[in-house]
Amino acid sequence: MNAEDPNLCLSASSPDLLSDASHLASGPIAVFDSGVGGLSVLRHLRALLPAEDLIYLADQAHVPYGPRRASEIQSFSRSITQFSLDRGAKMIVVACNTATAAALDDLRATFAHLPFVGMEPAVKPGAATTRSGKVGVLATAGTFESQRYADLMARFAQGVALYENPCNGLVPLIEAGELDGAETRTLLESCMRPMLEAGVDTIVLGCTHYPFVLPTIHAIAGPNVRIIDPAPAVARQALRVLREHGLLAPAEQQGSIQAYTSGDPERLAQMSETLLGFELRVRGFCWDGLELDRAED
């Protein structure tokens, strides 16, 4: 446990406790999610921005975020942002559709000088390219219920029929490493069958966990359905924002990655090997008031 290092303990913070330090190009980019999902974004950031130091934060003590109240996710997100700032972060990538929907506006208002990149289901490109006029969206309940999603539909999905499914239970299966087992396949079939029968030709992945079951999604959808993962676009947006703010790391630098989890560091290190093809260095962080004696420094 990290008792000797109080800096690794977070409490759900109120805005007046938060600092907004100035950020330097030499600082890392912080990338956070409720769990392993954001690694599907991290891998694109790594590929596009190899000179950048990255820190990855997985709030696995609280995963899944999907069924949680927006106010709770805002509070977690503020604390994780502050934790990242304390480690010199120059930009935050909210690699979680659910946290973006619940907390991005709040984060931008709270940390006014810090650049954020969020993500949302790729309804815009889905609606722009569908030929059947029918698009499937797989995202969490929290994302579907959000104002941000309602705005997205109103702006970009006029004249397009959206078929939504929250895939309840899929995030915990992915967290458990069940990427291609019978249970995952059965669950995905039941989520996707209605939209496929309705005639969607495009399915948008609106949860960062879901790209890790892409082979199963492709197998169920068949070759004529286009699947859109917004992660490459998020990485390109991160590059644009860094450039605009003059925060790009020197190109000759070799970037590092340090991960933190409020769950089990050893388990996340193992999962990263499976999901990314290399093992992350992982440290634990804890939440004040939560018993997390699994966390290791």
Element (H, E) at 220: helix 214-221
Residue of the chain from 57, 58, 96, 247 that contacts ligand DGL (CB under 6 A): 96
Given 96, 167, 191, 286, the catalytic residue: 96
Q: Out of 140, 146, 216, 261, name the contact with ligand DGL by CB under 6 A.
A: 140
| Residue 20 or 72 having the CB closest to ligand DGL | 72
User: Catalytic: which of 9, 167, 207, 286?
Assistant: 207
CB 48 within 8 A of CB 116: no
Query: Can you read off the two tokens belonging to residue 189?
Result: 């079939």
For the record, the structure tokens of 44 come out as 């694109």
Residue carrying the six token digits 């490109």? 125
Task: Determine the Cα–Cα distance for residues 217 and 233; give it in Å rounded to an integer.
Answer: 20
* Sign of torsion over alpha carbons 122, 128, 129, 131: positive
Q: Is 96 a catalytic residue?
A: yes
- Count the site residues for ligand DGL by CB under 6 A: 17
With left for phi above 0 and alpha for psi between -120 and 50, is residue 88 left, alpha or beta? left
Q: How near is the Cβ of 73 to ligand DGL at its closest, in Å?
A: 9
Which of 81, 97, 110, 165 forms a contact with ligand DGL (CB under 6 A)? 97
> Are 135 and 200 a contacting pair, CB within 8 Å?
yes
Instruction: Report residue 211 as tokens.
Output: 């790209």
Nearer to ligand DGL, 66 or 126 (CB): 66
Region of 124-132, 180-188, 203-211, 280-288 interacting with ligand DGL (CB under 6 A): 203-211
One-letter amino acid at 126 equals G
Q: Confirm or reject binding of residue 166 to ligand DGL (CB under 6 A).
A: no
Residues 9-68 binding ligand DGL (CB under 6 A) are 33-35, 37, 63-66
Candidate ranges 92-100, 150-158, 181-189, 260-268; the one touching ligand DGL (CB under 6 A)? 92-100
Write the interaction track for ligand DGL spanning residues 210-249; mark x where CB under 6 A is met and - where it is not: ----------------------------------------
Instruction: State the residue for tokens 């690699």.
Output: 95
Cβ at position 97, least distance to ligand DGL in Å: 4
Per DSSP, the three-state class of 86 is helix
Please state, in angstroms and rounded to a whole number, the distance separating the CA atoms of residues 39 and 57.
Answer: 10
Give the Cα separation of 238 and 82 in Å (integer): 19
Q: Is 9 a catalytic residue?
A: no
Binding ligand DGL by CB under 6 A: which of 207, 213, 257, 259?
Answer: 207
Residues that bind ligand DGL (CB under 6 A): 33-35, 37, 63-66, 96-98, 140, 143, 171, 207-209
Active site residues: 96, 207
